[in-house]
Amino acid sequence: MFKKKTSSPDIDRAVAQGVSFELTLAERARKSERRAWLVAWSAIVMSLILAGGYFIFLPLKEKVPYLVMADPYTGTASVARLSGNFQDRDVTTEEAINKSNVAQFVLARESYDSGLIGQRNWRTALSMAGPTVAPAYIALHSESNPERPFRLYGGSRAVRVRILSIVLIGGAGGKRPTGATVRFQRSVYDKGRGASQALDSKIATMEFTYSPDLRLNEEDRLLNPLGFRVTNYRVDDDFASAALPEREFPAPPSSADMAPAVPSAAASADGAVATAPGPAQVPSENDVSTAPLPAEQSESETGNGVPQR
């Protein structure tokens, strides 16, 4: 008879509020998900842009080495910047570096000056010469060698070297060269008259490498900073026409040069024995700092091997 009412304004209002609350939660979830995807895609796009910029600027990256050079006479040090294409290449693959080391070795090995051999040439040649190359240079200046440079030229004359050309062997495809061929001419310089006379023309063929673990003392490291090592060395005659020697300015004569020299008859008959580099220890494979310097040259021996009083 009496039927209970199932609908009223309060119930409808409560149901409407519940539905609205659920719709609000769903809308919030959708908006939050949309914002999350927006942030994720923005991060992905920025990462791609950064990666693209990195690969674009990567070829512009350049390694610029610096070479510290020191003057062995004054001790002044200077920093030089080596310009060139050094990307994916070692400094020892550069043509200028290899030619410089080759030239330094040939100049020290083939030239002679009684005033410089004990200061620079001896150390330079032995710091760059390998175990198979150093003994020949030591024997050349040995006291037992009758044709050693000091006996032939004495202290008044010097042998000067003029390099004509240097051709590197190997080094294709950015690799390090393994050898070189050097054409050079030698001339005899008279210190008293200040004049040069052509001596001969030679061709030097060498094989070399670089030893990073080469043990050198501080003085020798200044002469050979990169560990340049000559493993094979040979010199042959060059039959090309010799060039005219460079013009030299005469040196002022000293009182000793103007005084007449009277050779001793006994000394002329017996010959002279001059002081020269004695037997030296051949440098080992990775240690060349122990090579002794040549003894001081005697001033009493002339270019003809005849002592003076």
Mean pLDDT of 5-29: 72
> Does residue 162 sit within a domain?
yes
Assign 278 a pLDDT band (cuts: 50, 70, 90): very low
Question: Which is higher by pLDDT, 217 or 111?
Answer: 111
Alpha carbon distance 208, 224 (integer Å)? 13
Domain at 191, CATH number: 3.10.450.230
The predicted pLDDT at position 240 comes to 67
> Does residue 117 sit within a domain?
yes
Query: Which DSSP category does 297 fall into?
Result: P
Amino acid letter at 236? D
Total structural domains in the chain? 1
The predicted pLDDT at position 61 comes to 72
What angle is formed at CA 161 by the lines to CA 272 and CA 134, rounded to 5 degrees?
Answer: 65
The predicted pLDDT at position 205 comes to 93
> Does residue 235 sit within a domain?
yes
Q: Does residue 272 have a pLDDT over 90?
A: no
pTM > 0.85: yes or no = no
> Does residue 304 sit within a domain?
no
| Residue 197 three-state SS | strand
Report pLDDT digits (tens) over 23-66.
Answer: 777 788 888 888 899 999 999 999 999 998 888 888 777 666 67
> Does residue 293 sit within a domain?
no
Residue 261 CB: number of other CB atoms within 10 A?
A: 11
Residue 61's contacts (CB-CB under 8 Å, 6 or more residues apart) are 87
Q: What percent of the chain has pLDDT over 90?
A: 23
Report pLDDT digits (tens) over 151-193.
Answer: 888 888 999 999 999 999 887 776 788 899 999 999 999 888 8
**Helix, strand and coil in the chain, % to nearest 5:** 35, 25, 40
Q: What average pLDDT does the chain have?
A: 75
Largest CA distance in the chain: 168
Q: Where are the beta strands (DSSP E) in the chain?
A: 66-70, 77-81, 157-170, 177-190, 195-210, 228-237
The predicted pLDDT at position 250 comes to 55
Question: Which is higher by pLDDT, 81 or 139?
Answer: 139
Q: What are phi and psi of 164, to 5 degrees?
A: -90, -40
CA distances from 262 to 15, 17, 82, 298, 309 (A): 139, 135, 56, 18, 7
The predicted pLDDT at position 303 comes to 41
Q: Which domain, by its residues, includes 160? A: 71-251
Residue 31's contacts (CB-CB under 8 Å, 6 or more residues apart) are none
CA distances from 168 to 94, 103, 126, 180, 205 (A): 11, 11, 22, 4, 10
Question: Which is higher by pLDDT, 232 or 10?
Answer: 232
Cβ contact 84:135 at 8 Å: no
Report pLDDT digits (tens) over 206-264.
Answer: 999 988 778 888 888 888 888 899 999 999 988 765 555 555 555 555 555 544 444 44
Burial of 276 (0-12, 13-18, 19+ CB in 10 A): buried
Report pLDDT digits (tens) over 58-105.
Answer: 877 766 667 777 776 777 777 766 655 545 455 556 788 889 999 999
